[in-house]
């Protein structure tokens, strides 16, 4: 046991993570008069935007929408410099939020949580940090993010590599200079696609090790347009409402009403063209069935492949960069000069689908076909998404179930908020909620508000114990699967289904029903007396007479 009784500290709520979710939780809970402690592994706030400092890191939701809506003053006073903010600016924004609302004093930085145990007898959670400190509270909230546990391939010989290697999500704080170096990048998802053009500008030579070619739409970033900013800020409440009620948490996307198949080819081309020229990841929303109908998807896929190929000069490289899966079934990427980078003399695309990486030497990466001399290697290989970070913490009930046992065959959760069997433990944007399929700031605000309203409801009634009911969780899980099953996404091999992590149980994890519908459902659950949750006093929960 790591704990030491004399530094045992008591709170109302313990929160793990100081990114968007943890900061907003702290702000709300404090306003409700609760004693809160937030644990953060980094030495500053920011979560995802603290860790992912790789060159080119940028959000592909527009800045005016990828931001907190809870404070009118905050959203009016903050000025975004670009249409899509880069990592440094989003981190500065979150640092500003922390300062503006005086949040830092309740955050324990450089503190990684190792274990959390619920005691039914005391009706409280005990959290142990890796440093051996122990904290107790009635409730615990995991604000740990959906994409934070890095996935690093286990390549034989990696320990013998003499150069520097990096995972993009643990990027050093001081800038890394690749000038004059031979660099390898493994991975061509959203991260690799942002990184490649930037590293190509510096490196002597860049080898891009690609297992899967992905669809990319040009981001078309630029300085924030002053007129658009004035317009949005002039009607922010309406814009935010539209985002909350929309499928993806973005007001700027119209909700499509037509099938690809019901319009004439010229109209369909014009619709795709508008989205292509507007930029960003809204292209699959030009029609309502791109993600549901194979033929509609094929038409959209062909359009994007044609546009991508127009950029790449070498037809063989263009072939290798052409995706072979249905568009949108893996996360759509947005790029700034990705395909153009392959027209440079110092960039080589290496197809590791055909010939996988077999080993690393002190100065090389070896595939079945060739040896590539490299001085530095960057893994842009993604994350054990949505469940990895939670399962990395040893969470459970004293003499009862653990999260690892409850999720042995894949995640089970009620509304992405709680797991049956783990009382008084909440998650923000957990499995079975729209989370990664949405503008996640909108989803975070929705979950945080639901959780804090629920705790206020309990406090007013003298209740102190809440559990998700197994049958409600099962019914919700069936619904999540049923909605996903109607789409093409559930059939794909992606991190949405756990397919990127060897041995991870397969199943579609997030909720595809849309942010607006999900919010309406969660609100209804609350209005109906927190249907599907058992709210009680601890005594009642233990079966003692109240």
Under a CB-based contact definition with an 8 Å cutoff, are residues 287 and 260 in contact?
Answer: yes
- Minimum distance from residue 235 beta carbon to ligand N01 (Å): 25
**CB closer to ligand N01 out of 51 and 383:** 383
Residue nearest to ligand N01 (CB): 189
CA–CA distance, 393 with 425 (Å, rounded to integer): 13
**CB closer to ligand N01 out of 235 and 354:** 354
**CB closer to ligand N01 out of 445 and 464:** 445
Interior/surface letters 64-101, b for 16+ CB within 10 angstroms, e for the rest: bbbbbbeeeebbeebebeebbbbbebbbbbbbebbeeb
**CB closer to ligand N01 out of 22 and 388:** 388
Q: Which sign does the torsion angle of CA 415, 14, 501, 409 carry?
A: negative
- Minimum distance from residue 262 beta carbon to ligand N01 (Å): 30
Maximum distance among all Cα pairs of the chain, rounded to whole angstroms: 77
CA–CA distance, 436 with 500 (Å, rounded to integer): 15
- Minimum distance from residue 162 beta carbon to ligand N01 (Å): 21
CA–CA distance, 360 with 162 (Å, rounded to integer): 10
- Minimum distance from residue 231 beta carbon to ligand N01 (Å): 24
Containing 471, the helix (H) or strand (E) segment is helix 470-485
Residue keyed to tokens 């510096």:
202
First-residue to last-residue Cα distance in the chain: 34
As a residue count, the chain comes to 546
Under a CB-based contact definition with an 8 Å cutoff, are residues 271 and 287 in contact?
Answer: yes
**CB closer to ligand N01 out of 212 and 288:** 212
CA–CA distance, 149 with 428 (Å, rounded to integer): 16
**CB closer to ligand N01 out of 154 and 177:** 154
**CB closer to ligand N01 out of 454 and 515:** 515
What are phi and psi for residue 348, nearest 5 degrees?
-125, 130
- Minimum distance from residue 381 beta carbon to ligand N01 (Å): 4
- Minimum distance from residue 149 beta carbon to ligand N01 (Å): 12
For 447, the 3-state DSSP assignment is: helix
- Minimum distance from residue 37 beta carbon to ligand N01 (Å): 29
What are phi and psi for residue 511, nearest 5 degrees?
-95, 125
Q: For residue 463, what are the CA distances in angstroms to 4, 142, 381, 424, 472?
A: 30, 21, 45, 11, 20
CA–CA distance, 362 with 101 (Å, rounded to integer): 49
Q: Which residues bind ligand N01 (CB under 6 A)?
A: 58-60, 147, 153, 186-192, 194, 211-212, 331, 334, 352, 380-383, 436, 495, 500
CA–CA distance, 444 with 23 (Å, rounded to integer): 11
8-state DSSP, 331 = -
**CB closer to ligand N01 out of 211 and 298:** 211
**CB closer to ligand N01 out of 128 and 497:** 497
Tokens of 375: 């001085």
- Minimum distance from residue 495 beta carbon to ligand N01 (Å): 5
399: left (phi over 0), alpha (psi -120 to 50) or beta: left
CA–CA distance, 539 with 546 (Å, rounded to integer): 6
- Minimum distance from residue 454 beta carbon to ligand N01 (Å): 28
- Minimum distance from residue 533 beta carbon to ligand N01 (Å): 30
CA–CA distance, 302 with 288 (Å, rounded to integer): 17
CA–CA distance, 273 with 270 (Å, rounded to integer): 5
**CB closer to ligand N01 out of 190 and 246:** 190
CA–CA distance, 218 with 209 (Å, rounded to integer): 21
- Minimum distance from residue 331 beta carbon to ligand N01 (Å): 3
- Minimum distance from residue 62 beta carbon to ligand N01 (Å): 11
**CB closer to ligand N01 out of 495 and 533:** 495
**CB closer to ligand N01 out of 492 and 534:** 492
Under a CB-based contact definition with an 8 Å cutoff, are residues 526 and 454 in contact?
Answer: yes
Query: Among 426, 502, 504, which Cα is nearest to 144's?
Result: 426
8-state DSSP, 189 = S
- Minimum distance from residue 508 beta carbon to ligand N01 (Å): 15
**CB closer to ligand N01 out of 318 and 419:** 318
């Amino acid at each position: 046991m790591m704990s030491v009784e004399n530094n045992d500290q008591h709170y109302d709520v313990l929160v793990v993570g100081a990114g968007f979710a943890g900061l907003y939780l702290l702000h709300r809970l404090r306003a409700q008069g609760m004693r809160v402690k937030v644990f953060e592994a980094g030495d500053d706030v920011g979560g995802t935007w603290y860790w992912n400092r790789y060159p080119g890191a940028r959000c592909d939701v527009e800045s005016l929408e990828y931001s907190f809506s809870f404070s009118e003053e905050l959203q009016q006073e903050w000025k975004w410099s670009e249409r899509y903010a880069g990592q440094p600016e989003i981190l500065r924004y979150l640092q500003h939020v922390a300062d503006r609302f005086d949040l830092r004093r309740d955050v324990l930085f450089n503190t990684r949580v190792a274990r959390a145990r619920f005691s039914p007898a005391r009706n409280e959670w005990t959290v142990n940090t890796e440093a051996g400190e122990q904290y107790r509270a009635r409730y615990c909230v995991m604000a740990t993010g959906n994409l934070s546990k890095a996935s690093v391939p286990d390549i034989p010989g990696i320990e013998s590599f003499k150069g520097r290697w990096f995972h993009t999500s643990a990027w050093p704080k001081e800038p890394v200079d690749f000038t004059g170096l031979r660099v390898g990048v493994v991975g061509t998802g959203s991260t690799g696609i942002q990184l490649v053009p930037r590293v190509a500008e510096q490196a002597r030579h860049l080898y891009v090790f690609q297992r899967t070619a992905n669809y990319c739409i040009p981001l078309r970033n630029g300085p924030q347009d002053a007129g658009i900013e004035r317009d949005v800020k002039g009607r922010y409440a309406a814009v935010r409402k539209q985002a909350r009620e929309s499928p993806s948490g973005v007001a700027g996307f119209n909700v499509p009403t037509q099938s690809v198949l019901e319009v004439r080819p010229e109209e369909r081309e014009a619709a795709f063209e508008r989205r292509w020229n507007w930029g960003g990841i809204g292209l699959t929303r030009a029609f309502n069935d791109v993600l549901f109908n194979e033929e509609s998807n094929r038409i959209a896929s062909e359009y994007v492949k044609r546009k991508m190929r127009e950029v790449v000069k070498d037809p063989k490289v263009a072939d290798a960069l052409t995706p072979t899966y249905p568009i949108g079934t893996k996360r759509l990427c947005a790029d700034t000069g990705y395909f153009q980078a392959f027209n440079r003399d110092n960039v080589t695309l290496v197809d590791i689908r055909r010939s996988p990486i077999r080993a690393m030497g002190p100065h090389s990466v070896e595939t079945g076909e060739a040896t590539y001399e490299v001085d530095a290697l960057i893994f842009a290989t993604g994350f054990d998404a949505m469940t990895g970070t939670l399962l990395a913490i040893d969470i459970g009930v004293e003499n009862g179930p653990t999260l690892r046992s409850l999720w042995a065959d894949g995640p089970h959760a009620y509304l992405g908020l709680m797991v049956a069997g783990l009382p008084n433990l909440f998650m923000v944007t957990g499995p079975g909620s729209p989370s990664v399929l949405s503008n996640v700031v909108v989803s975070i605000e929705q979950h945080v508000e639901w959780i804090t309203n629920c705790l206020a409801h309990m406090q007013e009634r003298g209740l102190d114990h809440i559990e998700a009911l197994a049958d409600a969780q099962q019914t919700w899980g069936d619904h999540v699967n049923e909605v996903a099953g109607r789409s093409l996404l559930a059939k794909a091999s992606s991190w949405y289904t756990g397919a990127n992590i060897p041995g991870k149980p397969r199943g579609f994890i997030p909720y595809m029903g849309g942010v607006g519908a999900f919010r309406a459902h969660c609100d209804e659950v609350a209005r109906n007396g927190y249907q599907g949750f058992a709210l009680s006093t601890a005594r009642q929960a233990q079966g003692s007479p109240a």
